[in-house]
Amino acid sequence: MLVFGLDTKSELGNLPSIEAGYPSKVTVTGLIPLMWFVPLILSVFMFKIPKAGDFHEKRLIVRVISRPLNVVSLLLCFISGLFLLNGFPYREPVINQYDPEAAALPYQILIDYVNGHGGLTFWAHPEAAYYEKITAEKGNPLMSALVKNATHGGLIVETDPYYHLLNDTRDYTGFAVFFEGKRIVGNPECLWDDLLMQFVSGNRKRPVWAIAEIDMEHGTDPETASAAQTVFLVRDKTKEDYLDALRVGRMYCFSSHVNRWFTIRDYSVVSGEACALSGEITGYNEDARLVFGVELRETHHDLEAVVISNGKVLERKKFNDSCRMVFRLPEPSGDMGYVRLVVIVNGNMNVVTNPIFLGRRLH
């Protein structure tokens, strides 16, 4: 997950994780180590220092260990103290990394923590998968032989896509649609639209926004780093304005360097006297329409604007030059609806806008 907006060392250092730990609670199991207070108290009553006159030996340590029960008492005290220290603070973590039933709970705990500190959370590359087979340890013949023989040919490291967690968690800010979130999540009539429909129907407290990201796996060259971009709609180029844009969905997403020749000049819903931009909400009127204006600095012959309204594709329109398109919008079936738009470039979805909402209850 990508976390934005946490500033202090304490906020960052206490992010719920395997390293920093997870929240804990008082349980019967967590209180079991307190039973070691019994042998600890018993060891105190068992211990007795013999008087100097009872022995020829004057040194205290010799007098102490000369009494067998003192040795047992000291040993019992030491063991009890270790177990009491190990059990502190006598609470159990809500989850741990070995719990097969944890499911989405670790991520929900992180989301709730970040929200509680005023931050933002985005699911990073939810459709990404990883597979690697380690067959040898370079430069170490002993390790190479061990890996080969003990693992029947090598170790397999595999990570499955986790896009289902977007539906299993709540109150996160959004997800990365480019590059590893566009086929199953961000594609029209797919998971993102399901999540937005949950919001407009009242089954999800917050809408889900899309951003663009890229994983720099090989080097940090500017050409690769600029392939995907998030364009923010801000008045001032300040940290606060950028975070606010992320929080409320005022941004567009581009991939494959499309932003070099493609600019969105207008993306708004006009309804009656009102006009709403990306991430905003306006009341529905019969003349409600989506306006999409683009400027192209290169000629392309395979561009298509796809409008998604209330979970379904509303309209598709081909274009190949700078233009202004207008799409009539249907009335929401419930109290609220939404519209979003994507642009297909040569068969690939390379432009994604965030939704604009229309509410019947705003009349």
- In this structure, is residue 86 part of a structural domain? yes
Query: Contact 351/212 with Cβ under 8 angstroms?
Result: no
- In this structure, is residue 9 part of a structural domain? no
The pLDDT of residue 138: 61
Task: Please say whether the dihedral angle defined by the alpha carbons of residues 87, 90, 96 and 101, taken in this order, is positive or negative.
Answer: positive
Q: Does one domain contain both 51 and 191?
A: no
- In this structure, is residue 122 part of a structural domain? no
Residue 141 CB partners (closer than 8 Å, separation 6+):
none
- In this structure, is residue 152 part of a structural domain? no
Q: Does one domain contain both 169 and 81?
A: no
- In this structure, is residue 87 part of a structural domain? yes
Q: Does one domain contain both 184 and 301?
A: yes
Q: Does one domain contain both 66 and 215?
A: no
The pLDDT of residue 363: 45
Q: Does one domain contain both 198 and 86?
A: no
Q: Does one domain contain both 195 and 54?
A: no
Q: Does one domain contain both 263 and 174?
A: yes
The pLDDT of residue 136: 64
pLDDT beneath 50: ranges in the chain: 363
- In this structure, is residue 155 part of a structural domain? no
Cα 14 to Cα 19: distance, rounded to the nearest angstrom:
9
> With 0-12 CB in 10 A as exposed, 13-18 as middle and 19+ as buried, what is 93?
middle
Q: Does one domain contain both 213 and 77?
A: no
Domain end (from 72, 93, 114)? 93
Pairing between β-strand 229-232 and β-strand 251-254 as defined by DSSP bridges? antiparallel
Indicate the residue type of 280. E
Residue 279's domain spans which residues?
Answer: 165-362
Q: Does one domain contain both 68 and 178?
A: no
Domain end (from 93, 119, 146)? 93
Cα 265 to Cα 291: distance, rounded to the nearest angstrom:
10
- The side-by-side arrangement of strands in the sheet containing 174-178 is 2-4, 120-123, 174-178, 209-212
Q: Does one domain contain both 227 and 357?
A: yes
Query: Contact 269/339 with Cβ under 8 angstroms?
Result: yes
- In this structure, is residue 137 part of a structural domain? no
Q: Does one domain contain both 223 and 334?
A: yes
Pairing between β-strand 155-159 and β-strand 262-271 as defined by DSSP bridges? unpaired
The pLDDT of residue 193: 98
Q: If we measure between CA atoms, which residue out of 113, 122, 104, 123 comes closest to residue 21?
A: 113
Q: What is the pTM of this model?
A: 0.82
**Per-residue pLDDT tens digits for 13-47:** 999 988 888 888 888 888 888 999 999 999 888 88
Domain end (from 64, 93, 122)? 93
How many structural domains is the chain composed of? 2
- In this structure, is residue 20 part of a structural domain? no
Q: Does one domain contain both 332 and 218?
A: yes
Assigned token pair, 98: 């070995």
